[in-house]
């Protein structure tokens, strides 16, 4: 029998220093009361302190060297190409008749069993909602799991929205946003909505979508497909629309979208459409185990967004929607997650309940620039309206904690936590440029990416948010460095790179440069040979992440994505941990939570954990 009952509330990317700053201003009363009556501490994150790595340590009680998730971006070493570092999507096969055999599935790349599976296998009911990187949902024998981050759209991608606009001359791929041109003739235009693969060659299924301006009804745009016709006023969201998308010769995949009409007049039409997510009632993508849990969540919160990256940062980052549109969607998602959680509080709670919100992280990523007048993308006109957006999310978090506390059964241990903290991201470092300038990476004449590298002369290269890999013989496709030389080369690069300063201001760029063989002991394959740990203000360049090369080593960050943590120093990027009872929390780490919950539930700890129970 469990000795404790746990309710765990996770808030992605909440920074303990901001918590303390708001306490000093008399804000966040519910969290302050929780800390005063129970316990509060900074929660150590992983290296690097980013969501797929840290949440996997949360789930498994293991550090990256054992669980094998090292970054958002992994690599295909034989091809020197990037891939997703946490999941593999498995699209259905097509038979000779062109029919899809099955639906979209996937494989989670982590090693180690999540603590909720261990508890469920021991006979305990669990309810896990929106925990990042829990897709595909584990088939727990008792209770249910509804996946969070990592859950793909129907394409399948991490999250691809669509913008239909008269601004485009041709179809555009805009960094996570599909741009569809609209050409109006007599007030009507046509585009298309893309869904999953529809045949063995990889062609996506699509359906036509029409747009109509009616001079008799200004300020309203009619949007129609084969099966629906809706009137959407400018500046408003449509209701959810369920679509039947071709997914083979005879199969259809049900997807769901919402439209936001940003502008619609004779001069310009600009319409945003959410990523095509699975329909909870007929999921083409597994949303939960058992499947009816997704339908229960919809009953509690209404039709909800079924894609793991719920808050569309890329639509704002590509400057195709405004801050207002982005924030409105963030708060809608937060409302839905809160409704799901509070509905569970009104039922008989299982011994283990976990629910996670991600809006705290997304708003900090996108709007940090408006809190920092020195940031390259600071905009005083926007700051007047949105400088408090991050603070507002923390206040919403505090209100959620208060609502949940008021509903907790007596004797329940409430845990509130985050996976990492946050920093400004104002300067980007082109890692591959540094490697070129120091003779470690050699490009062919005119080359601008790793695909134009001269691998016979290249000893090291960079892919991902802060990783450097040796071009090792037998591991990389065209390895040039013998195995016996790897340690000396790693030592040499570390010694040269660690003291680097920014020539623009003399600031130190790194808190540390870690050796992979030391940091990631544990046996999981795929670890980088060097892991960068940036000082606040710095991150790997946007170009480097996918294997590109910039014009120089350093550059201002030109994006609205202006707060970050992905390759920051873990020592300076800690999360938060609140516990509703007095405990002796001494330097807790996120890997300690899984064994803490299992011990409290009376479940034997799996072997080979890195974490240890906190009480």
pLDDT of 250 reads: 87
Q: What is the pLDDT of residues 500-530, one digit of tens each?
A: 999 999 999 999 999 999 999 999 999 999 9
Specify the DSSP element, H or E, that contains 502.
none
Is the pLDDT at 473 greater than 60? The verdict is yes
Write the CB contacts of 403 (distance below 8 Å, at least 6 apart in sequence).
Answer: 338, 342
Q: What is the 3-state secondary structure (H, E, C) of 323-391?
A: HHHHHHHHHHHHHHHHHHHHHHHCCCCCCEEEEEECHHHHHHHHHHHHHCCCCCCCCHHHHHHHCCHHH
Contacts of the segment 132-135: beta carbons below 8 A, 24+ positions apart: 132/12, 132/51, 132/52, 132/55, 132/308, 132/356, 132/358, 132/419, 133/51, 133/52, 133/55, 133/56, 133/59, 133/69, 133/86, 133/87, 133/108, 134/59, 134/108, 135/87, 135/106, 135/108, 135/286, 135/308
- pLDDT-derived band at 173 (thresholds 50, 70, 90) equals confident
Phi, psi at 490, each rounded to 5°: -60, -45
Is the pLDDT at 2 greater than 70? The verdict is no
Strand, helix or coil at 554? strand
pLDDT of 615 reads: 95
Give the CA count within 13 Å in the CB-facing half-sphere of 111: 18
Is the pLDDT at 447 greater than 80? The verdict is yes
pLDDT of 228 reads: 92
Is the pLDDT at 376 greater than 90? The verdict is yes
- Residues 557, 378: Cα–Cα separation, whole Å: 11
- Residues 24, 272: Cα–Cα separation, whole Å: 40
pLDDT of 312 reads: 96
Phi, psi at 165, each rounded to 5°: -155, 145
Runs of H (alpha helix) within 486-567: 486-497, 516-519, 542-545
- Residues 368, 557: Cα–Cα separation, whole Å: 12
Q: What is the pLDDT of residues 28-64, one digit of tens each?
A: 999 999 999 999 999 999 999 999 999 999 999 999 9
Model-wide pTM > 0.85 = yes
**pLDDT above 70 as % of the chain:** 100
CA 445 to chain CA centroid, Å, is 37
In contact, 609 and 8? CB cutoff 8 Å = no
- Residues 11, 360: Cα–Cα separation, whole Å: 7
pLDDT of 1 reads: 54
Q: What is the pLDDT of residues 90-149, one digit of tens each?
A: 999 999 989 999 999 999 999 999 999 999 999 999 999 999 999 999 999 999 999 999
Specify the DSSP element, H or E, that contains 285.
none
**pLDDT above 90 as % of the chain:** 97
Is the pLDDT at 212 greater than 90? The verdict is yes
Is the pLDDT at 388 greater than 80? The verdict is yes
- Residues 197, 258: Cα–Cα separation, whole Å: 21
pLDDT of 19 reads: 98
pLDDT of 335 reads: 97
Is the pLDDT at 225 greater than 60? The verdict is yes
Per domain, the residue ranges of the chain are 5-62+126-151+296-421+573-600, 161-278, 426-565
- pLDDT-derived band at 304 (thresholds 50, 70, 90) equals very high
Domain 5-62+126-151+296-421+573-600: what homologous superfamily? Alkaline Phosphatase, subunit A (3.40.720.10)
Q: What is the pLDDT of residues 227-271, one digit of tens each?
A: 899 999 999 999 999 999 999 988 899 999 999 999 999 999 999
Smallest CA-to-CA distance from 136 within 153, 126, 118, 150 is with 150
- Residues 437, 442: Cα–Cα separation, whole Å: 9
- Residues 234, 217: Cα–Cα separation, whole Å: 11
Residue with tokens 């949007």: 223
**What mean pLDDT comes out for the span 196-203?**
92
pLDDT of 254 reads: 96
């Amino acid at each position: 029998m469990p000795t404790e009952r746990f309710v765990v509330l996770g808030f992605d990317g909440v920074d303990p220093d901001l918590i303390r700053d708001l306490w000093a201003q008399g804000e966040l009363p519910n969290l302050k009361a929780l800390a005063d009556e129970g316990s509060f501490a900074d929660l150590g994150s992983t290296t690097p302190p980013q969501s797929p790595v840290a949440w996997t340590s949360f789930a498994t009680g293991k550090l990256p060297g054992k669980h094998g998730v090292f970054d958002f971006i992994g690599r295909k070493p034989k091809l020197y190409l990037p891939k997703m570092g946490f999941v593999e999507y498995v699209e259905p096969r097509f038979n000779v008749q062109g029919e899809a055999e099955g639906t979209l599935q996937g494989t989670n790349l982590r090693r180690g069993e999540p603590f909720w599976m261990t508890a469920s296998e021991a006979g305990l009911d669990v309810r896990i909602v929106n925990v990042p990187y829990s897709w595909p949902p584990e088939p727990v024998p008792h209770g249910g799991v509804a996946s969070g981050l990592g859950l793909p759209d129907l394409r399948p991608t991490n999250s691809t929205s669509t913008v239909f606009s008269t601004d485009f001359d041709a179809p555009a791929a805009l960094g996570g946003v599909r741009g569809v041109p609209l050409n109006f003739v007599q007030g009507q235009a046509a585009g298309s909505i893309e869904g999953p693969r529809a045949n063995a060659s990889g062609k996506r299924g699509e359906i036509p979508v029409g747009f109509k301006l009616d001079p008799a009804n200004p300020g309203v745009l009619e949007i129609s497909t084969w099966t629906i016709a809706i009137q959407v006023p400018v500046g408003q969201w449509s209701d959810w629309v369920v679509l039947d998308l071709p997914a083979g010769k005879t199969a259809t995949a049900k997807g769901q979208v919402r439209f936001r009409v940003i502008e619609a007049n004779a001069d310009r039409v600009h319409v945003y459409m959410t990523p095509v997510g699975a329909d909870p009632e007929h999921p083409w993508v597994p949303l939960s185990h058992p499947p009816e849990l997704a339908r229960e969540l919809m009953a509690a919160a209404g039709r909800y967004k079924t894609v793991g990256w719920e808050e569309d940062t890329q639509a704002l980052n590509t400057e195709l929607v405004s801050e207002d549109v982005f924030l409105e969607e963030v708060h809608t998602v937060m409302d839905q997650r809160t409704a799901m959680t509070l509905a569970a509080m009104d039922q008989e709670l299982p011994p283990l309940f976990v629910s996670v919100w991600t809006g705290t992280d997304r708003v900090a990523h996108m709007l940090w620039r408006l809190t920092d007048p020195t940031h390259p993308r600071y905009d005083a006109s926007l700051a007047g309206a949105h400088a408090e957006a991050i603070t507002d999310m923390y206040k919403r978090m505090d209100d959620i904690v208060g609502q949940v506390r008021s509903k907790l059964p007596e004797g329940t241990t409430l845990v509130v936590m985050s996976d990492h903290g946050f920093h400004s991201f104002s300067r980007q470092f082109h890692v591959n440029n540094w490697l070129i300038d120091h003779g470690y990476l050699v490009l062919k004449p005119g080359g601008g990416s790793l695909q134009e590298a001269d691998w016979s002369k290249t000893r090291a290269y960079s892919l991902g948010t802060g990783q450097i890999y040796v071009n090792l013989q037998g591991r990389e496709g065209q390895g040039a460095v013998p195995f016996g030389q790897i340690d000396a080369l790693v030592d040499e690069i570390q010694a040269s790179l660690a003291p680097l300063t920014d020539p623009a201001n003399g600031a130190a760029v790194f808190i540390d440069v870690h050796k992979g063989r030391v940091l990631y002991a544990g046996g999981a394959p795929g670890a980088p040979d060097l892991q960068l740990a940036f000082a606040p203000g710095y991150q790997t360049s946007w170009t480097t992440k996918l294997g590109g090369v910039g014009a120089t080593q350093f550059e201002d960050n030109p994006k609205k994505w202006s707060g970050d943590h992905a390759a920051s120093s873990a020592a300076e990027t800690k999360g938060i941990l609140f516990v509703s009872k007095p405990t002796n929390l001494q330097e807790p780490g996120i890997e300690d939570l899984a064994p803490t919950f299992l011990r409290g539930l009376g479940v034997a700890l799996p072997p080979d954990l890195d974490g240890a129970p906190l009480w």
